[in-house]
Structure formats: C-alpha cells, structure tokens
Structure 1
C-alpha cells in the first residue's frame, strides 16, 4: 500500500497529502522512494542535474538505482521537492550526492516513463470527475468518456478495457459501492477503478483488496493517490493498449 505523508507548502501554507510515484525495478518489483515524515519540503527555484535524481534500493532484490526525485506542484505555483531517504545521500537529504546515471534504468520490456501528471484543482464535483478522467488518460487509457449518473449514483467513466466510478461527494465509499463496480466490470470483462473524494470505509478497502479493485483518493489539488496494492500495481503498469 502506498505510504502518504502530509506536505505543507512553505509559500502558501497549504497542506497536501502526498505519496511518492512508483517505478519498475529491473526485477519487476515496484520501487518507491521512502518519504521522510515531518520533513519540510524544499521549494525548487532552479534545477541542477544532480538534484533531479535520488538513489533508491529495491526491497525485493536489493538493486540500487537512480530515480527521479519526488516533486509536488502546489496550486499556488510553487514546485516542492519532497524529502526522501536516499541510499546514497543518507537518512534525511533533499537530493542525492552520488553522480546520477545517464539514463533511467528500466527493464528491457518496460514502457517509456510517463511525463509528469498535471492535475486540476478540485472545487466542484465536476472538477473531481475531470481530474479522474485526466488521470486515467495519463495512465494510458484512451477515449475516456463520462456516463451520466442515475438516481444520485456516482459518476461513471468508461474507456476501452476500463470502467471507473468517481464519488465526488463527502460520503465515504462503502463496500456495496465497491462490489457494484466490480460486478459491472466483471460483466464487461474490463478493469474496475474507483476514485473517491472522501475516502473509503474499512470494509470497502478490505473488499477491494479481495476483489483486486484499484482504489484512489482525490485530494483537492486534483492528484489521485493510490490507497491499496491493486492501485499501486495499476500506476506501475499503466493501462490501455
């Protein structure tokens, strides 16, 4: 499960919940830079090559590689470098000291790294749906389209090979919501994905793990955060064709 930490922007004092992106190790296991809880982020005013990379060790095979340093874009316009524990830099550094490689190490069959996701600030329910749709496109799904809800139901998103549900209200997603989405996806032989603004009940998260339904929480910056292992896997592998 993704580890999320609170990150407060020093420019506007807005607090975000952030989880580091996942990258694929050469052994196939997902790799995530370990975040330092409570460490103040560093505003990026200029960039250097060394600052863009961080050394991370794969917990599955022990391989050490250089990966892009986690960053967070605040709606106020400030770009923040989130503090991580770098294998090369020590227990609490903002950037690695070791010279980075000339390329990002990827397994031979891995796709090219995706560009950074550009979120939209969530102010309305429609913004939440738009943020989820943009994220699915970023993951690789094409022709994402909205399906108008009926009887107050959550908004649906459909794409080839995918059915998604977006709950933009302040109601926590329940186990019944997860099961309904899973049954819909099962009937169409597609992947189910759920987005929620208010989060999930404990029963819903447990059931989603059992059914392998990826769950994401939308923060108000418009950046979906994975909250279970199926979601982590989807972020790693991407979607679509």
Structure 2
C-alpha cells in the first residue's frame, strides 16, 4: 500500500496539473516566487483592492497626476487605435479574466498621489496625518499643486515600449518610454519635484515605468490564455507604434477619483 506521504504527493501533483497559474502571477514585495509560474495569492493583487472578484469596479478614492490621451484633434491617433483594441479585446480567450477600463479614462500617470487604501509612510504625504479624511488630503495636495510651477516643456513625448511584459505584469498594460534621453531626464526631474512638493515617495519612485492601463486582471491566466494575451499584445503594440510613433501628451492634470473608471480633472498644472 502507498504511504500517507506518497498519497499526499500524488494529490498535490494532480492539483498542480489541473490548476495552471499564469507566469504573470504578481508577487508581493519580498516574495521570491515571481517569474516562476507560481501564484502568490488566490487572486491578482488588485482583486479586493480596486475590483471585486466578479470584475466589478470597487471604490478606491484618492488623487493622482495624469495626462489623459487626446481624444480629438491632430494627436488623437493613439486614442483611436486603443479604442479599436477595446473593441477587439472581448473576443480573446483571456477576456473573461480581465475588466476593461472605459476608454474615456485612458491616461498616462505622471505621478501617483495618495489614496484611501494605502495610508503608510512613503505612499501618504509626510505632514498630513495618516487618519485625515481623503477629501482633506485631496484639498491640501490641490493647494500645493496650484502653487507648483510646472517648469517643463510640453508636449510630453512618449513612445510604445516594444519589450515583452514582465513575469509580474498583468494584462492589459501598454508600457511607454520617453522618446529620448532628454525626455527621460525631463520626466524624472518633474517626478522628483512633484515628490518633494507632495511629500510622497513610493518605493519604486526611481524605477517607475510609464504606461497606459487598458484593463485590470481579476483572475490568473492559464498557459493557453497567457499565450493568447502575449500574442495579442505584440500585435497591438505594433499597430499602436505604426499609428502613433510618438504619443504626444499635454499638461499634466491634478485629478481625484472614486474608483478606476474615471479620473476627474481639478486643474491643469501650469
């Protein structure tokens, strides 16, 4: 007769063969499992944080500094291409594992502000009490930013990053790169100045990757779904690069949000 340990190993092996976890399994800070195809939690990081398990958007009040993509006029090619991707995405095998964002929300984050869910040093303004209402934080940061001088040449010039998504990067994100070294220095300097103004400095401040989020992942992808996702993303990146070799963005906007579906502009930084 097989031993109890043998039975346990057999059962675990069958479970591992049945439930396929995506290589995009998102590890938490300090977790060494990322990139090995092993899920570090039952659901992706933003389930229970920004989205409910069934994909509905969850309240996530806070503030941020973003550039919305131009939807009209001579710089609207990128938005038009992303709108086509929004139309096509539901036909893919991985689509039931993501929640697509409304195209009206498409933006590039310049600097993440504070939010009600992450009240900790580095992510919350240093001289605002950790228990201050988020509405008070919104107001105080708005006051600071009204007095902030942008001192930054416009437009911001970005381009699509053709690199494959990393092992811990869930669908569906369009990574962006500054158009050249000078643009990179300009954006990094702006982020440093905003960090000093708002007294916020996230752990990834110096490693921050610019991007446009099109959807949030609400469940892990199977191997086949992940292959479909990566193939589609490669084609979509190529199409976006061809339609808009440069993605030109105007003045950053101070926005407040109640969830991930809308970023409500309070004013442009000037």
Q: Which range, TM-score by smaller chain?
A: under 0.3
Normalised by the size of structure 2, how large is the TM-score? 0.25
Name the structure with the higher strand share.
Answer: 1
For CA contacts below 8 A with separation 6 or more, give which structure has more relative contact order: 2
Normalised by the size of structure 1, how large is the TM-score? 0.27
Name the structure with the higher helix share.
Answer: 2
For the pair shown, which has the larger CA radius of gyration, 1 or 2?
2
